[in-house]
């Protein structure tokens, strides 16, 4: 399903957006490095699309920039200008966001997303996320995931606001939540608080496909 050239373009766009948002926050590469615990060299390579950051790395960058990573899913044509990207602190705490349940605004878009219209983010080698929502104005984010054999969200656990639920469509996926490790197979599902440190990896020799829901949208 993956299109290498499209993935390369998304990777390039990802780096550009991170750089633009960093600059809009009046942060230097060193400032961002200090806030994330990453090296200035790694930040620079991510922004120039020399390396493809893991989900763990993207989470650190998103937290430091105070943005939900769902911003990075948007197409170039509808990308929110960096000056208009809200700080998480301005949105209120996650509980307040959930209680508000924002209404979906399709902005004259079709409610149907055809397979070839899905927005893609490839946050790490062998991992592809396809957004199933028309946009991210509503209270929930729905994603189709592909994990190639041996792929992982990163060597460390990560966390973010909200909660999530996933369903394995094919293959197997190992999900770690704090100290607990769960092996999910086709037809299995899992639900947990996203604030709990977690990670995902495919240790099998077959691709894993699954659908995932995040509330509120964070990727």
> Domain residues for 32?
4-89
By the 8 A CB rule, do 207 and 147 touch? Answer: yes
CATH number at residue 123: 2.60.120.10
The whole-angstrom separation of Cα 45 and Cα 61 is: 13
Q: What's the structural domain count of the chain? A: 2
Which residues, listed in sequence order, are joined to residue 189 by a DSSP beta bridge?
Answer: 167
CATH number at residue 69: 1.10.260.40
Question: What's the pLDDT at 154?
Answer: 86
Average pLDDT of the chain is 82
Q: The whole model's pTM is what? A: 0.65
Please determine, for residue 210, whether its predicted confidence score (pLDDT) is greater than 90: yes
Residue 156 counted as domain residue: yes
Residue 135 counted as domain residue: yes
The whole-angstrom separation of Cα 130 and Cα 69 is: 13
Rounded to 5 degrees, what angle do the CA atoms 35, 58, 53 make? 115
Confidence of residue 40 (pLDDT cuts 50, 70, 90): very high
Question: What's the pLDDT at 48?
Answer: 87
pLDDT tens-digit series, residues 97-133: 555 666 788 888 899 999 999 888 776 679 999 999 9
By the 8 A CB rule, do 174 and 181 touch? Answer: yes
Residue 105 counted as domain residue: no
């Amino acid at each position: 399903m993956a299109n290498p050239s499209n993935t390369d373009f998304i990777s390039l766009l990802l780096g550009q957006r991170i750089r633009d948002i960093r600059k809009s926050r009046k942060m230097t590469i060193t400032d961002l490095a200090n806030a994330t615990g990453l090296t200035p060299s790694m930040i620079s390579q991510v922004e120039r699309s020399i390396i493809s950051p893991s989900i763990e790395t993207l989470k650190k960058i998103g937290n430091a920039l105070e943005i939900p990573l769902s911003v990075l899913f948007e197409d170039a044509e509808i990308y929110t200008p960096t000056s208009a990207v809200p700080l998480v602190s301005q949105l209120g705490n996650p509980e307040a966001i959930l209680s508000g349940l924002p209404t979906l605004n399709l902005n004259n878009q079709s409610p149907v997303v055809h397979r070839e219209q899905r927005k893609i983010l490839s946050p790490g080698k062998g991992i592809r996320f396809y957004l199933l929502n028309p946009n991210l104005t509503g209270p929930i984010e729905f994603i189709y995931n592909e994990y190639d054999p041996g792929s992982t969200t990163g060597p460390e656990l990560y966390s973010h606001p909200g909660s999530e639920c996933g369903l394995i469509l094919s293959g197997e996926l190992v999900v770690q939540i704090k100290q607990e490790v769960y092996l999910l197979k086709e037809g299995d599902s899992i639900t947990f608080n996203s604030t709990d440190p977690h990670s995902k990896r495919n240790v099998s020799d077959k691709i894993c496909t699954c659908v995932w829901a995040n509330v509120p949208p964070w990727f």
